[in-house]
Amino acid sequence: MPSPLSVDEALDRILDGVAAMPAEAVSIEAAHRRTLAEPLAALLTQPPFDASAMDGYAVRAADVMRLPASLTMIGESAAGHPFDGSVGPGQTVRIFTGASMPAGADAVVIQENAGQEKSGHGATKVIVREGSPDHGHVRTRGYDFRAGDVLLQPGRRVGPREVSLAAAMGHGTLRVHRRPRVAVISTGDELVLPGGPTGPGQIISSNHLGILALAEAAGAEVHFIGIARDTRDSLAERFAQAEGADVIVSIGGASVGDHDLVGPVLRQRGMVLSFWNIAMRPGKPLMFGRLGTSRVLGLPGNPVSSLVCTRVFLVPLLRALLGQPPRDALPVQARAGVDIEGNGPRQHYMRATTAAGADGLPVVSPVRSQDSSLLSPLAQADCLLIRPPRAPLTPKGALVPILPLDF
């Protein structure tokens, strides 16, 4: 039996030769959570014109060098309604936030520093009482960006900030990577779909939902194929239904028990096995291989193991397929909140919670039970505390790496 692979080595093999999915154009409304496939240059200059940043009066700065100053109001410029004349010496235009600066004016006096008076001839005078005539209240054309500026790079995930920026840059469609298709199969004679009644010896298939959710959050298009029973025929049928997916994920049946038929069935279908045994806890029987153009990840059935392996291995694979930097920016450092016992030969991902620490680093404490069949402690946890193989006893207060669970 080959010795188990380290987590890093397994991740190297999973990511080996992975190319980003081809690009496609999507409307900007549909671009959220996609990944840019090309550099994004601004099509527009923003702001497109000098604009007032405040409500007040557009003036010539030279006219308000000495205060108080009396100016003649000759019109108004509001957002979307520019003033089409020009401000001459001794003149001013009432202006509002976001409105275009009229020609001739180069400063804004905020309204708090000025007042209006009617003159004898029915004209309106603006008396500027205080304030320096600086140019700070004007957002000059191109203050944010200029047409041609490249503001977003390929591989950038389009989140709320990126989608707003891309829209302001003038883009109606974006070229993004196609989402990798992930097909998920539950395996086991004991499993029943969520919401269904459970008979003797049966349990709910719960893991597939968490795995689908994680994969979707990472940017994949997800499909649940269904439950395969622990027979060669049933497994073969489900794997046939998953064919063509970019990543096929099976849950359970991947170790070496009498009912663990995932490996043999996949090999019969032509899977080229890369590994099936890693030095990790939870999650020892993890299988990875290639089946045609699909990558196949055989996860352990235990609820915690399957979700931890999804976070540690599937999410980076999906990132790579999306053209993103695949690896987590490790290590995120935290301080041990308690003494942490020495570790055995397998890298341990302990379920843990974080709290704010006095020195700015989070303080991390493992949850009470680390049994890999228990979902409720996993739901309490907000991170995984990574214990390298054979890590010695780590005292409270020492620095330890963590992997945040929510992302």
Instruction: By CB under 5 A, name the binding residues for Mg ion.
Output: 188, 252-253, 301
Least distance CB 361 / ligand AMP (angstroms): 35
Specify the residue, 179 or 208, whose C-beta has the smaller distance to ligand AMP. 208
Q: Which of 393, 240, 268, 246 is nearest to 314 (CA)?
A: 246
Binding flag, residue 302, ligand AMP (CB under 6 A):
yes
Residue nearest to ligand AMP (CB): 301
Q: Which two tokens stand for residue 144?
A: 């944010």
Least distance CB 293 / ligand AMP (angstroms): 26
Beta strand segments in 78-168, E: 91-95, 107-110, 114-118, 124-128, 138-139, 150-152
Task: Enumerate the H helices of 334-374 as residue ranges.
Answer: none
Least distance CB 328 / ligand AMP (angstroms): 25
Binding flag, residue 191, ligand AMP (CB under 6 A):
yes
Least distance CB 204 / ligand AMP (angstroms): 7
Binding flag, residue 190, ligand AMP (CB under 6 A):
yes
CA–centroid distance for 213 within its chain = 14
Question: Taking contact as CB under 6 A, which single stretch among the options 2-10, 188-196, 344-352, 398-406 is the one that binds ligand AMP?
Answer: 188-196
Binding flag, residue 56, ligand AMP (CB under 6 A):
no
Q: First and final CA of the chain: distance in angstroms?
A: 37
Task: Name residues whose C-beta falls within 8 Å of residue 376's C-beta, 6 or more positions apart in sequence.
Answer: none
* 377 CB neighbour count, 10 Å cutoff: 17
Give the per-residue contact string, 103-122, with ligand AMP (x = CB under 6 A; - = no): --------------------
Residues in contact with ligand AMP, total (CB under 6 A)? 17
The binder of 202, among Mg ion, ligand AMP, none, by C-beta within 5 to 8 A per type, is none
As a whole number of angstroms, the distance between CA 85 and CA 88 comes to 9
Binding flag, residue 45, ligand AMP (CB under 6 A):
no
Least distance CB 253 / Mg ion (angstroms): 5
As a whole number of angstroms, the distance between CA 80 and CA 2 comes to 71
Task: Name residues whose C-beta falls within 8 Å of residue 262's C-beta, 6 or more positions apart in sequence.
Answer: 187, 235, 250, 252, 253, 254, 287, 298
Question: Taking contact as CB under 6 A, which single stretch among the options 48-56, 130-138, 143-151, 245-253 is the one that binds ligand AMP?
Answer: 245-253
As a whole number of angstroms, the distance between CA 389 and CA 7 comes to 10
* Interface with ligand AMP (CB under 6 A): 186, 188, 190-191, 203, 205-208, 251-253, 255, 300-303
